[in-house]
Amino acid sequence: MNFLPESIEDYIKTHTETESEILKDINHETWEKVLNPRMLSGHVQGRILSMLSHMINPNNILEIGTFTGYSAICLAEGLQENGCIDTIDNNEELESLARKNFKRSGLEKKINLMVGDATQIIPTLTKMYDLVFIDADKINYSLYYELIFDKVKTNGYIIADNVLWNGKVTSTPKNDDIDTLSIINFNAKIQSDNRVQNVLFGVRDGLMVIRKLI
């Protein structure tokens, strides 16, 4: 997922605000103990999420895909004083670790973790969100987008991770490569949606930032 020379990646890291000690610990523990640790946002992307959240200054955030809680903590940093982030994950085995990390961060009162199927949970949510972060199973990206669209405020934002899918989006995927096909279709869907403004950032594995116009 590194598209730049290693020396440039290192330069970017050294010229980006450092992680807090808590985030460093979460990063380390995730890589040491959890399957597929590359799913963690990590230093630079985490600081980008924090910066975007501070810029938007949301009252309500929805995250689809909690993993070990790193990105939720980064996003929560920019919440308004009484704001809240609802974060959904279907991996029950990671629930206790995520909750431990939220408590360690001191932001647990702003983070509401819901464990279950996001396609079933999202329709039950009654809030209007200023910011939504999609970072879950790729096959359902387009479905998540449709499910949350009417729950995003006008001029609110949707951010989708992994939209470059390790560079595979520029190839012709095999018919059984469902994840790659799903990301390609999602990107095309956003590009053709006249209800939004969008820009794809070549950060790590790609971040699609979408602003709802209506």
What letters, b where the CB count within 10 A reaches 16 and e where it falls short, cover 10-48? eeeeeeeeebbeebeebbebbeeebeebebbbbbbbbbb
Structural domains of the chain, count: 1
Q: What is the mean pLDDT of residues 110-125?
A: 98
Question: What would the pLDDT profile of 57-99 be if each residue is shown by its tens digit?
Answer: 999 999 999 999 999 999 999 999 999 999 999 999 999 999 9
Percent over 90 (pLDDT), the chain: 91
In degrees and rounded to multiples of 5, residue 148 shows phi and psi of -95, -10
Q: What confidence category does residue 119 fall into, taking pLDDT thresholds of 50, 70 and 90?
A: very high
Q: What pTM, to 2 d.p., does this model score?
A: 0.96
Q: What confidence category does residue 176 fall into, taking pLDDT thresholds of 50, 70 and 90?
A: confident
Q: How far is CA 164 from CA 102, 149, 160, in A?
A: 29, 22, 10
**Distance in angstroms (rounded) separating the CA atoms of residues 189 and 1:** 23
C-beta of residue 187 within 8 angstroms of C-beta of residue 134? no
Say if 1 falls within a structural domain: no
- Domain containing residue 154: 6-212
CATH of the domain at 33: 3.40.50.150
- DSSP class of residue 18? P
Q: CA angle 86-91-97, nearest 5°?
A: 75
Question: What would the pLDDT profile of 1-43 be if each residue is shown by its tens digit?
Answer: 667 889 999 999 999 999 999 999 999 999 999 989 888 999 9
**Structure tokens given for 161:** 């991770």
C-beta of residue 101 within 8 angstroms of C-beta of residue 26? yes
Sign of the torsion formed by the C-alpha atoms of 89, 94, 96 and 102: negative
Looking at residue 209, its pLDDT comes to 98
**Consecutive H or E run containing 99:** helix 95-105
**Distance in angstroms (rounded) separating the CA atoms of residues 89 and 198:** 26
Say if 201 falls within a structural domain: yes
Looking at residue 162, its pLDDT comes to 96
Say if 42 falls within a structural domain: yes
**Distance in angstroms (rounded) separating the CA atoms of residues 113 and 108:** 9
